[in-house]
Structure 1
């Protein structure tokens, strides 16, 4: 007999994440093993040239290859093979707690929530500029009902109904998804809910990779010229590593 479908699918997009992926997968296993719901972990290798897919396989994850380097495509590729009724998208440098997973699943199981996310808690933010930015984002997230892409939960029904993440953009796809899911939820008597607690812990490595000035420049570009999100060149911030040129 075919194996029963899991209740929850956790989807991780990953490009050259050999350094952190093992930690992330260990964290997810430990968090999920304490929950009664059945689950699967899917890692989408977004054309890595390091050991990312091998690390994922060794950890028992389902591995999918997405050859086109675009974050939205990677997330959608994972959703296409996911078998769970509930989907949770987690970045390779993000470590949700068991309490956060429990709160997310309880929200979805209530039938009142179609999707949502959590407030962020960053690792190692040394400068006040970054801490201020983090607090502002968390305020904005709760106020406007927007989620960061590092942690998004939703029902499969809602995700498929709105067409998943927009593949027209190279970054910010979670903001567009949030808006569509909120509209869908209103039509179906459900809410889009950003959990105030527990927070989700995620890496602050971009604060180490890029200067405050670079962060400011990218933020200003996106706010003043939203069309920039459709440009691979102008969204270099999301695709560049310290050893690479934009």
Structure 2
């Protein structure tokens, strides 16, 4: 029997994510198995130096795409370009989704009145006071402004293409701009941008382990005071460098 063309695609950008991918892909495959619609899972190897590509294949990715430039916007766009699916679901390599969350996202897209959206974010396991404060603040901003976190963002393919995808000039906050562009595009067509509150999406709190509270607060203040920094890969080092990989970029 012929295999049905995928209606949706889950796109996972990954740079040196061999450690996180098995858990993420296991959650993705379980979520996909609960859907009535055919879908595919695409991992974008963003020029990794570890076993990211091998782990992606072993973990159940339908396809592994290679993107040579270390930039998350490019990686996400490469995944979108590799599929003809009508619905695009972007999930970070350190983020776990539940079947119910994927079901809600696909239902919203399928009813014709939703251009895209995201979900309320929670950290896995224990977190710090600063982590809880930052996450609570982001939740309020996300719900009030209807802005999706990059860890989980879904949209209609036609809208994604119409607004030009993720902006390649940005090295951080590219999901904020895309959310704004999708809201505007959808508003003109009577389609809303929705943030799902239940169930949430669970993402790793690893940056809270990598950096001190003072470093995290300092970075947030720096971004607020110098918003142009999101156009500089060097100034976005908080997102692109790991403490144990000083000479490598990672997320």
TM-score bracket for this pair, using the shorter chain length: over 0.9
SS of 2:235's equivalent? coil
Q: TM-score, normalised by structure 1?
A: 0.97
SS in 1 for 2:69: coil
Q: 1:134-153, aligned counterparts within 5 Å? A: 134-153=135-154
Per the alignment, residue 210 of structure 1 pairs with: 211
- The whole-number CA distance in structure 2 between the counterparts of 1:78 and 1:43 is 7
Structure 2 CA distance, aligned partners of 1:60 and 1:93?
Answer: 16
Measured against aligned partners, the alpha-carbon deviations of 1:93-146 in whole angstroms (never above 9, x if no partner) come to 111100101111111111111010000010134321211111111111001111
The alpha-carbon deviation at position 223 of structure 1 amounts to: 1.2
Count how many residue pairs are aligned between Structure 1 and Structure 2: 246
Residue 238 of structure 1: aligned partner: 239
Whole-Å Cα distance in 2 between the matches of residues 71 and 173 of structure 1? 9
Deviation of residue 2 (structure 1)?
Answer: 7.2
Query: Which runs of 5 or more structure 2 residues have no equivalent in the other structure?
Result: none
CA distance in 2, matches of 1:110, 1:154: 13
Query: Is 1:14 matched up with 2:14?
Result: yes
Check the 8 A contact 1:88/1:153 in 2, yes or no. Answer: yes
Distance in 2 between residues matched to 1:176 and 1:14, nearest whole Å: 21
Q: Provide, for residues 9-56 of structure 1, a one-character-per-residue CA deviation record: whole Å limited to 9, x for no partner.
A: 000000000001011111111111011111100000000000000111
2:80 corresponds in structure 1 to: 79
Partner of 1:108: 109
**Superposition CA RMSD, Å:** 1.3
Q: Structure 1: how far apart are the matches of 2:153 and 2:126? A: 22
Q: How does 1:169-188 map to 2 (within 5 A)?
A: 169-188=170-189
Tell me the SS of whatever aligns to 1:116: strand
Gaps of 5+ in 1: none
2:127–2:205 CA contact under 8 A, matched in 1: no
Q: Is the 8 A contact 1:125 1:207 kept in 2?
A: no
Match of 1:148, SS state, is coil
Q: Which deviates more from structure 2 when the two are superposed, residues 182-191 or residues 57-66?
A: 57-66
**Off by >4 Å, runs of 4+ in structure 1:** none
Q: Counterpart of 1:47? A: 47
Instruction: Provide the rounded CA distance (Å) in 1 between the counterparts of 2:6 and 2:233.
Output: 36
